Amino acid sequence: MKNKLLTISKIGLLAFTILVSQACQEDYEMVDPPMITDYDDDLDEEVVLQKGLESYFVTQFGEGDMDGTSWDQAMDVAGFRKLLSGSIDLSKSTIYMSQGKYVMSETGGLGVIIRKDIKAIKGGYSLLSEGTDLTNRRIDTYKTVISGDVNGNNQADSGDCGLLLVKGGIIGIEGVTFQYGYLSNNDAKSNECGSGIYINGNVNSTSVELTDCIIRDCKTEAVNGQGGVAGGTAILIASGSSKLNNVKFLDNAADSRGGAIRCNSNKAVVFMNNCLITGNSVRELFGVGIQISSGHICMNNTTIVGNPGKGAALNGGGSFMLANSTIVGHDIAQEYGAFRCETSIDGDTKFINNLLISENSTAPSFILNGANKEAYSMGYNLYQRVNNFTMDVSDTAYPTLVNGNLTEEGVYKWNIDQIGQVGGYATKQAVINAVKSFNPAASPMVNLGEVFVEWMGEDAFGLDQRGVTRNPDKMQMGAYDAVLSN
């Protein structure tokens, strides 16, 4: 009888959460069903987490004994927090998470602190999963949300918490939405901050790799001038790296310095492939989408568009390697445009086969700002205007705003026929060679471009952001490719 009641309860809960998810599909808000039980992070004395398991199972409210050994004994959100922050070795463990909303603290302030390797955290499993079955997984339907919404009002504001503070460890996360992370200016510290994911550990052993994830609706009110705590609403890296594959950054807000992402030391590295950054904002200046104050970024097949604010969509004094990407400046009232670069002469900034445009009729597509600064166009970019810089002969100038639009797939689609005469088209091999040549002297990883290519694989440079195979001998500029004929 007990098992029948449990099954009926699960079916009712699943139906309820699916209806709510469909009603709030656009912003992924989830309304909690009535709570049956509640535990703090110390856990009940009878709940003993099993050590050394290859698999741990988590549901929002837990099941059975909540020791995490199966879906029928799944730990709850308090157990999940304890598992992440505690001493249990997870270097060979995968944590499986069902649909639900997992708030990272019982109170406002900082989120969960992690100091260890975690093989994988995987979201998107059905609430009806039983035993150790892993077949019922659909990340877009069974949304797993790591949330900062302590006060339960479905927005990031006072009383809410940050999400993850990673101070050590190599961590993989797949199929998870991060939402409503919040950081007040009072809670921001030079070595502990971040409304979303904050990374600050040993540069050689601290990394977060996200695959098929979303970071959205987070907010940081930390201001500039307090030790690099401002900005980087979704991801803020002081020391370490983040590898991002098919990650969407949506509607995050900062006071300044990076509406979505920020690096603020030479020990910070970001890899991006097939990513979308849109709807993010800064109240003050610089890096409305991404701010690389210092540090290093490698980007392929990424779209940055529709991020309102001041001070360029992409900005900073670090080193940039941009390939096959689309950057559209949405800085209507300012002069900075799409990409404002302040890389010093001992740095290394290169870009090849990108679409660099501004919605402002006079703002530059690219500006090299300041004295003793240096960057290199490796060719085949489409741009409107540049300041203090000379483009390559194979680049194409097109002063008029390109007629394109952001599709439901998250890519900026545009027709190259509107351009007319083109300076040149990139080949797949030319892009690979350019990326491999990227080697900033200050990078904590030697031959950084080669490391980036190894992480993605060379075939990724022959696809567009949608996964469509490009003509390897004639590739369209930017993250969208209509597959051009020779």
Q: Position of tokens 């002063």? A: 399
Q: Which of 47-51, 63-67, 238-242, 389-393 has the lowest mean pLDDT?
A: 47-51
Sign of CA dihedral 15, 19, 21, 22: positive
pLDDT at 335: 76
- Is-contact 169 205, C-beta < 8 A? yes
- Is-contact 97 84, C-beta < 8 A? no
Residues 269-315 have pLDDT tens digits of 999 999 999 999 999 999 999 999 999 999 999 999 999 988 899 99
What count of other Cβ atoms lies within 10 Å of the Cβ of residue 320?
Answer: 24
**Residue 225: CA count within 13 A, CB half-sphere:** 4
Range 7-18 average pLDDT: 52
Task: Say yes or no to pLDDT of 239 above 80.
Answer: yes
Q: What are the backbone dihedrals phi and psi of residue 449, each rounded to the nearest 5 degrees, phi first? A: -60, -40
Q: Is 107 helix (H, G, I), strand (E, B) or coil?
A: coil
Alpha carbon 94 to chain centroid, angstroms: 21
Q: Are β-strands 290-300 and 235-250 bridged in parallel, bridged antiparallel, or unpaired?
A: unpaired
Task: Say yes or no to pLDDT of 35 above 70.
Answer: no
Give the bridge partners for 171, in sequence order: 118, 208
Per-residue confidence band for 14, with pLDDT thresholds at 50, 70 and 90: low
- Tell me how far CA of residue 360 lies from CA of 259, 277, 288, 312, in angstroms: 19, 19, 15, 11
pLDDT at 13: 55
Rounded-to-integer distance, Cα 261 and Cα 307, Å: 12
Report pTM.
0.92
Range 17-35 average pLDDT: 44
Rounded-to-integer distance, Cα 400 and Cα 383, Å: 9
Per-residue confidence band for 361, with pLDDT thresholds at 50, 70 and 90: confident
The full set of domain ranges for the chain reads 102-462
- Is-contact 311 334, C-beta < 8 A? yes
- Is-contact 33 91, C-beta < 8 A? no
Range 244-251 average pLDDT: 98
Rounded-to-integer distance, Cα 47 and Cα 36, Å: 16
Per-residue confidence band for 228, with pLDDT thresholds at 50, 70 and 90: confident
Residues 51-69 have pLDDT tens digits of 889 999 999 999 999 999 9
Task: Say yes or no to pLDDT of 434 above 60.
Answer: yes
- Is-contact 39 47, C-beta < 8 A? yes
Is 113 exposed, middle or buried, given 0-12, 13-18 or 19+ CB atoms closer than 10 A?
middle
Q: Whose CA is closest to 109, among 168, 75, 151, 71?
A: 151
Per-residue confidence band for 382, with pLDDT thresholds at 50, 70 and 90: very high
Q: What is the mean pLDDT of the chain?
A: 91
Range 168-182 average pLDDT: 98
The DSSP-derived string for 423-464 is S--B-HHHHHHHHHT---TT-SSTTHHHHHHHHH-GGGGGB-
Q: Position of tokens 């990076």? A: 258
Rounded-to-integer distance, Cα 238 and Cα 64, Å: 41
Encoding tokens for residue 164? 């993850």
pLDDT at 310: 87
Task: Say yes or no to pLDDT of 450 above 90.
Answer: yes
Report the percentage of the chain scoring pLDDT > 70: 89
pLDDT at 47: 60
pLDDT at 222: 96
Q: Whose CA is closest to 237, among 278, 196, 286?
A: 196
Helix (H) or strand (E) holding 80: helix 77-85
Range 116-141 average pLDDT: 98
Report the percentage of the chain scoring pLDDT > 90: 85
pLDDT at 11: 53
pLDDT at 227: 77
Q: Whose CA is closest to 28, among 215, 293, 189, 278?
A: 215
Rounded-to-integer distance, Cα 96 and Cα 80, Å: 10
Task: Say yes or no to pLDDT of 12 above 90.
Answer: no
Residues 157-174 have pLDDT tens digits of 999 999 999 999 999 999
Encoding tokens for residue 425? 């088209």
Task: Say yes or no to pLDDT of 45 above 50.
Answer: no
Task: Say yes or no to pLDDT of 2 above 90.
Answer: no
Q: Whose CA is closest to 186, among 158, 153, 167?
A: 158
Per-residue confidence band for 444, with pLDDT thresholds at 50, 70 and 90: very high
Residues 109-119 have pLDDT tens digits of 999 999 999 99
Task: Say yes or no to pLDDT of 329 above 50.
Answer: yes
Task: Say yes or no to pLDDT of 134 above 60.
Answer: yes
Q: Strands (DSSP E) along 188-288, which ranges?
A: 197-200, 206-216, 219-220, 235-250, 253-254, 261-273, 276-278, 281-282
What is the residue type of 108? G
Q: Which of 193-197, 199-203, 301-305, 399-403 has the lowest mean pLDDT?
A: 399-403
